[in-house]
Structures are given as C-alpha cells and as structure tokens.
Chain A
C-alpha cells in the first residue's frame, strides 16, 4: 500500500480522539478510525489504480470510505448524495467509475468491467468546479496538493493536536474535505453530524464534542449572527475561520469582536478548488482595520496581480494569480483526461480581480470568471444557461450574491423553469433573479457580451 493518507503520522497518540460522530454521540480514536479505513480500503482492492465516485453524507461511514479511497491510492470524486439523478447519471456515464459508494445505503457498487481507465499515478482527488450543477469539469488534485495545502492551513491557523473543529459544510464539498485533511494532519479532531446548522442537534454536537474551532461561508456567519452565538452554550468555541467568498465588513468586525471576547480570533481566508482549497489568509491581528482584505498568500505560496501578462505595482488592478505546491494538476472533463499529468506548473490565474496595497495585503474587487457564489457555493453560469436553454435563450451573469438571468421577453415558461432549476440544484430560489432585456447583447463574434450586462 502506498504511503498515502492523513492518518499515517506515527507521531500522534493512537488513543487520541479523531472524530466525534454526532449522529450517534460516539468518539473514534485515531487507531479506531485507522482500523475502519484499512478494512474499507481492502474492499476497494483492484490490481491497478481505480476511479471511485463517493456520494458522501456527513457521517463516519462516508468519512471512512473517503479516507480509504485515498489510502488505497485510488482517485476519488466526492459527490453530493442529493445530486439530481439525471445529472448524476450523466457524470457516471462520462467518467465510468470503477466503484460507486453511497453511504447510508451502505452501498458499494463495483463496475461490471472495472479498470478500463488509465489514471495518472499522482491523481488523488477530483473536485467538481460547480458541485450543485454536477459539473463534469473536475479539478485534478494530487496527494502532494492535498498534503501541502493542509500544511499551509495548519501553519496559518496555528492548529495543533489540541484543536477540535465542528464541520459546518457538506463533506462532498472541497472546503469540507480541506477541514478533514487539516485536522487529521495536525493530529487534532473534528465532529460530524447530519444535523443542519439551524438545529438544536447541531449545537448539541458542538457542545458535547467540546469543539474550539468553527468555520464557514459568509452565509454561515449570517446564520450564526441570527442564532446568537452566546445563547448556543458552546463556551469553548474561540477560533473562527471564514471561507467561501467575501465577508461583509460589518459581519467580519462583529465576529472579530465576538472571537476576541472569547479569547480567540477570526481568520478570513480566500481560496478556490483550483488551489485545492485555500490560497490566502488574513492574520487576525490586522483586524478589524483590514477586514476588507483577503490577507497574504499562505506559507509556501506566492500571490500577485497581473494585467496584460505583467505583474502590477501596488494599488494597480488586475487578476489575482497564485503559485504554490497546492495548485491543481489541471482539469478533467472526460475519463481520458484522468491519465494527464501536471499541466499548470503550479500556477493558476484565479479569475478574481483585485489589487495589492502598499503593505502587501490583497483585496478582491470583482470576478472575471464565469462563476457565481450562491450562499457561499460556487455555481457555473454557463451550466445554468445550458440547463435553462430548453425554456428560452438566456444570459446568466453574476451580481455579487445573486445570479441574474437575462432573457428577451421572459414569460411564465422561463419563470417555471427557473423555479424547477433552483429545486433541482438544491439552491434557494431567492438566489436567482430574472430580468427582461430588449435583446441579449452580442459581440462581433456572436458570443454574448457579458460585460455590457454587468455594467
């Protein structure tokens, strides 16, 4: 068995707690988790490297399957178990996984004719660029990507074996995975539950597990503000981490103050799947003054602003470009791409626009790429257009927190199609807005002129 996996560090006490299962109220130690992982990895044995699709829920069963897939040296794509059946079927037909694992159902399906794929030896994890639309465009990550990003995050957050976090995001999401990697590699621990953030059960789990760390998207912090953290009886929580899009400055200031009052700190972070998970972080001591900044590149990485292929001077606007050991190998859009090696050379143009100030702090002002963050999750605009194309020709653009759908003469058919789409993607309808336009503006090459729609 190759020396992969987040549990292999012999420096940590095997009897120390690793994961608290909020669904049954029990702890697993590192040794117990390792035993489960090794047993599951044996069920995934094939004479050569396999592709695994894991439909994962936030439970220990899914966690074990995930860690086992990595440890067995296979390539794994972790997917939303509630992904629309037609979208899931499309992905399966396209990539033809050797195994399909569904937790909860306890299901492990072996393909009728396995190991058809030529899979690059370095490939470990595949993350969808737009999980809710079941995007077939996957980010290819190596074991080195996963491990280096986890080490960068540990260093930025000063995590140790004493740290324990509550997992607030689905573990089929790249952020959820990065929390797992980080805590296990730090020798720390975490708690998992099916319960939603807005529920008694979720906070009971955080309290029973005695978590001191919690993180989430700006939407998570809006929810937390509404729930009133002090009334939730989780006194140990002190280290707060924010990911997944720009935090409104007043919310950052508020949670900075809350964290300080608890003797802790708030870390604002920025990242994307193309860099495994995270790219930069703001040292808490620069808050609240620098609450609009995404901070500095993580240790071992370099971040700069580029315009027309040249690096910008401080305050000059351009695209954020990042270089580091956590940058993906490339994308995969079909099974053949799984054989590809590194195509990025460790550098990624993020698609985010911004600038760097005189102190070297980075700020994001806009987005060039065709993605929108809805409630903290990345959604592909092109795929939304395609999924609505049966109802009407539309142009989808990003309006900060919302997805605007421009159409010529939008009618009831389109309204209904958007309702259905929101339902299908498990995204709240309030994230979408239909707008009428006389004619969808087009460039000379007949492509949609998105810039004039966002102006």
Chain B
C-alpha cells in the first residue's frame, strides 16, 4: 500500500469518517474533528507509520496536507 493510501486509512479511522468520503481535503474545520478525534488521529497515524509525533507536531496536525508534511519530516513518507 502507498503512503497516501495508508494515511487515508488513518484519517478515516482516527476521525471516524464514512468509508467513501474524500479525506485528502480534510482539515480541522470538520465537525467530527474535535479534541477526542484529534488524539485518535494522532494515535492512528503513529500506529500506521511507526512514528512518534512530538507535542508540536500534534498541534500542527491540522489537515491531511499537514500530516504529509509531518511524515515527510519524520522520514516516514514514501512518494508513490
């Protein structure tokens, strides 16, 4: 599976989004994205990519694209 597919899965699971919706535009203005979902998303990304997000990363995780930037910085992102 590509990094993008894995991240999409982590977003669906973490934010408890329906299976079909597009998550690549997801950001924290989503109604589902509350504090509980935020931490679930952090855990889902960490489990999927085997990384540990710093406190600053946790706060900067505001959207799907921000997640890619964080994972790139941590060297966990592989471009397809």
| B59 to chain A: closest residue by CB | A200
> A231 on the interface (CB 8 Å rule)?
yes
A197 & B55 in contact (Cβ 8 Å cutoff): no
Give the tally of cross-chain contacts (CB within 8 A). 52
| Residue from A219, A226, A426, A427 in contact with B58 in the complex, judged by beta carbons closer than 8 Å | A226
Q: Which residues of B contact A430 (CB under 8 A)?
A: 16, 36, 40
B59 & A199 in contact (Cβ 8 Å cutoff): yes
> B32 on the interface (CB 8 Å rule)?
yes
| A82 to chain B: closest residue by CB | B31
| B36 to chain A: closest residue by CB | A428
Residues of B in contact with A, size category: 10 to 19
> B27 on the interface (CB 8 Å rule)?
no
B56 & A196 in contact (Cβ 8 Å cutoff): no
Report Cα–Cα, A196/B59, bound state, in Å: 10
A196 & B55 in contact (Cβ 8 Å cutoff): no
B40 & A428 in contact (Cβ 8 Å cutoff): yes
| Residue from B18, B31, B39 in contact with A198 in the complex, judged by beta carbons closer than 8 Å | B39
B31 & A197 in contact (Cβ 8 Å cutoff): no
Report Cα–Cα, A429/B44, bound state, in Å: 13
Residues of A in contact with B, size category: 20 to 34
Task: Give the interface of B toward A (CB within 8 A).
Answer: 16, 18, 28, 31-32, 34-40, 42, 55-56, 58-59, 62
**Can you list 22 pairs linking A and B with CB atoms under 8 Å apart?**
A196-B34, A196-B35, A197-B35, A198-B35, A198-B39, A199-B28, A199-B62, A200-B59, A219-B35, A219-B36, A222-B39, A223-B35, A223-B39, A226-B39, A226-B55, A228-B55, A423-B16, A423-B32, A426-B32, A426-B34, A427-B36, A430-B40
- Having A198-B58, A226-B55, one finds 15 other A-B pairs with CB under 8 Å, namely A82-B31, A196-B28, A198-B39, A199-B62, A223-B35, A226-B58, A227-B58, A228-B55, A422-B16, A426-B32, A428-B16, A428-B37, A430-B16, A430-B40, A431-B36
